Copies of this chain bind each other. A is one copy, B any other.
């Protein structure tokens, strides 16, 4: 398999963590890519009209995206069980993944506001509203920490990626003080080889 890849993308990281958990990491060839919201990557666009990472090309030549689809594919390929099959656990896990992806989407939009957009065109209210998705998500996680501690599946993997992205791009935000139980959980899962092997580069 081949994956259009960026070492700083939290959605790529989610797929790589899943691959590591399933023992598939050595079967994925990483294709360097430079996805960007304004300067679109023509190499990715040839396979994925959204021009986004991660994009996976399977050994059969099927092109799959986005990260949710790739993770489910890898799990099915390895018969891994990271996607629970039965309700209500399946839908709880998928909703946790949606929460994590939404926290990340807001964080990425805040990051674009800070770095990609020309300074005179930045809008503080937009940045605050987007980053607040991560804050209200974090509060939910603290209130439901028992759900994090009870399962290791696509939902909790995705939530760990969201926390890792806060550490990577918003290191000044001392989120652990606001969510001590989440912080304990994250410290534990961060020791997993899948997370350690996929840390983003130093900012």
Binding site for B on A (CB under 8 A): 36-40, 45, 49-52, 60, 62-66, 68-69, 72-73, 76, 87-88, 91-92, 94-95, 98-99, 101-103, 106, 116-118, 120-123, 125-126, 128-130, 132-133, 136-137, 139-140
Contacts and interface: CB of A to CB of B under 8 A. Distances in A.
A50 B137 contact: yes
B121 A95 contact: no
Given A123-B117, A123-B118, A125-B38, A102 B133 contact: no
Question: Which one of A39, A88, A95 has the highest number of Cβ atoms from chain B below 10 Å of its Cβ?
Answer: A95
The 9 A-B residue pairs whose C-beta atoms are closest, nearest first, are A49-B136, A50-B102, A49-B140, A38-B129, A69-B94, A66-B98, A49-B137, A121-B123, A38-B125
A3 to B, nearest CB: 14
Number of copies of this chain in the oligomer? 2
A62 B91 contact: yes
A69 B98 contact: yes
B69 A95 contact: yes
Contacts of A73: 87, 91
Contacts of A52: 102
Nearest to A62: B88
Contact of A91 (B69, B118, B130): B69
Contacts of A101: 66
19 contacts: A37-B126, A40-B136, A49-B99, A49-B140, A50-B98, A50-B103, A50-B106, A50-B133, A60-B88, A62-B91, A63-B95, A64-B91, A64-B94, A65-B98, A69-B95, A76-B87, A116-B126, A120-B121, A121-B122
A147 B162 CA distance: 34
